[in-house]
Copies of this chain bind each other. A is one copy, B any other.
Amino acid sequence: MSGPNNEATVKAQFCFDFGSPNAYLSHKVLPAIEARTGATFEYVPVLLGGLFRLTGNRSPAEAFAGIKNKQEYGRLEIKRFLKRHGLHAFRPNPPFPVNTLQLMRGAVATRSDGNFERYVEAIFKAMWEDGKKMDDPAIFAATLTEAGFDAEAFMHRIGEADVKQTLIDNTQHAFDRGAFGSPTFFVNDEIYFGKDTLPYVEEEILRVKG
């Protein structure tokens, strides 16, 4: 994981929204890919709801709601991914779907101001390990406090114009480059969608690095 000043020879990016379980799952395995490739992923906060508005796309939960077998298969893919990567802490978020606007503004703010890694760990854990309802302001504030942030100052900061605008810009830029969901990866200008493309992301990083 790195901030915006990552200067690896290959630009690997992870466009994520905390509301996506597959973003959480990807986040958990990126360190292993970084270790194998020597690349460092730049984490780019985007608003999934914004991408959906720009593209007309919907969440799998919504798009596949009435389709028999399809959601069962999605759960099976998650189960296989957890097993393959030895992940034991994941559990579905009961209040899902969650409005992630404030969470993603927090990612933008910490990416700019510092403590981004600590914030990302805390929010992914709250969402996809502890099952918290993170669009409840009191629960968000408690999670921030527990993670060592000054919740009141934090909430003030994420209401500022530069933070709001950066999230909008990140989302628009990801859309302009071809994104329609989360997680989206870029290896330089090559786009990859979904956790199951991670082997190809890794391969492309190694190819570019020569």
Contacts and interface: CB of A to CB of B under 8 A. Distances in A.
A70 interface: yes
A32 interface: no
B175 A69 contact: yes
Contacts of A178: 69, 72-73
A193 B71 CA distance: 12
Interface in A177-196: 178-180, 191, 193, 196
Q: Which bucket holds chain A's interface residue count?
A: 20 to 34
Interface string A53-87: 01111000001001111101100100010000000
A210 interface: no
Nearest to A194: B196
Residues of A contacting B: mostly = helix
B76 A54 contact: no
Nearest to A178: B69
A67 B72 contact: no
A112 B140 CA distance: 62
B180 A70 contact: yes
Contact of A70 (B55, B80, B196, B197): B55
B68 A180 contact: yes
Nearest to A177: B69
A126 B150 CA distance: 65
Given A56-B67, A57-B70, A76 B191 contact: yes
Contact of A180 (B57, B69, B191): B69
A180 B56 contact: no
B73 A55 contact: no
A192 to B, nearest CB: 9
CB-based closest 9 A-B pairs: A69-B180, A55-B68, A56-B67, A57-B67, A70-B180, A69-B178, A56-B66, A55-B67, A55-B69
